[in-house]
Amino acid sequence: MSCNTEKKIKSLWFIIGIFVLGGIIGLLFSFGVAVGVEKTSGDKFCTMCHTMQPMANSYYRDAHGGNNINGVRAKCVDCHLPHDSLANYLFEKAKTGLHDVRVQNFGDLESIDWEDKRKHAKRFVFDSGCMNCHANLQNATSSNTKAFIAHKEYFEKRTDKKCVECHKNVGHHILGDYIKK
């Protein structure tokens, strides 16, 4: 075996090694990210800031917060992040997260008018989130006249109204009362 061939084999192993190691590191990293994304998606993380406590309390009393016969609970991000694409989801998560950290630490929390913010709920509640869970809504309501009429224009895409523009308190039982306290 010539010196050259030995070198070649060595460097081949080296390259393979890099890929394997890179793969392992990548897996560990993405596992970490996935865990991180998961751990920062629910009420426990979001209420680390006391600012969010009224939203959490009203959420616990709502069907979406587990107050239903099956105890099923939607996580904060199920409604408050878009679910149309992974990239959009992660981007919005990073953006919202950074914004909240900034305002929580450097902003004037007292001056936030939460009631006013509720008027613009459609900006931070995403229909793709709603439809991710309520995937069968269209079929389920088409035989119920009352629900069908209310959703007809939405599913026919003849209105640009978002879910939360009609379902005002959804997710947070009587949110207005909790914000005032």
Positions touching another protein (CB under 8 A) are 119, 145-146, 149-150, 153-154, 158-159, 161, 166, 168-169, 174-177
- Give Cα separations from 41 to 11, 62, 74, 168, 179 (angstroms): 44, 18, 10, 22, 22
Q: CA torsion sign, 174 to 177 to 179 to 181?
A: negative
Min. distance of Cβ 177 from another protein in angstroms? 5
Q: Is 166 annotated among the ligand-binding residues? A: yes
Q: Which residues face 172 on adjacent strands?
A: none
Place of tokens 């993380």: 45
Determine contact, residues 22/136, Cβ cutoff 8 Å: no
Nearest residue to 41 via CA among 89, 85, 84:
89
- Residue 139 contacts residue 145 (beta carbons within 8 Å): no
Q: Give me the least distance between CB of 174 and another protein, in Å please.
A: 5
Give 86 or 116: the residue with its C-beta nearer to another protein: 116
Map tokens 């426990």 to a residue. 44
100 is in an annotated binding site: yes
| 172 labelled ligand-binding | yes
Of 45 and 154, the one with the shorter C-beta distance to another protein is: 154
Closer of 54 and 81 to another protein (Cβ): 54
Least distance from another protein to the Cβ atom of residue 139, Å:
19
- Annotated binding residue at 3? no
- Does the annotation list 46 as a binding residue? yes
CB count in 10 Å sphere of residue 8: 11
Q: How far is the CB of 136 from another protein (least distance, A)?
A: 21
Q: Which residues are annotated as a binding site for heme?
A: 46, 49, 52, 76, 79-80, 100, 130, 133-134, 163, 166-167, 172
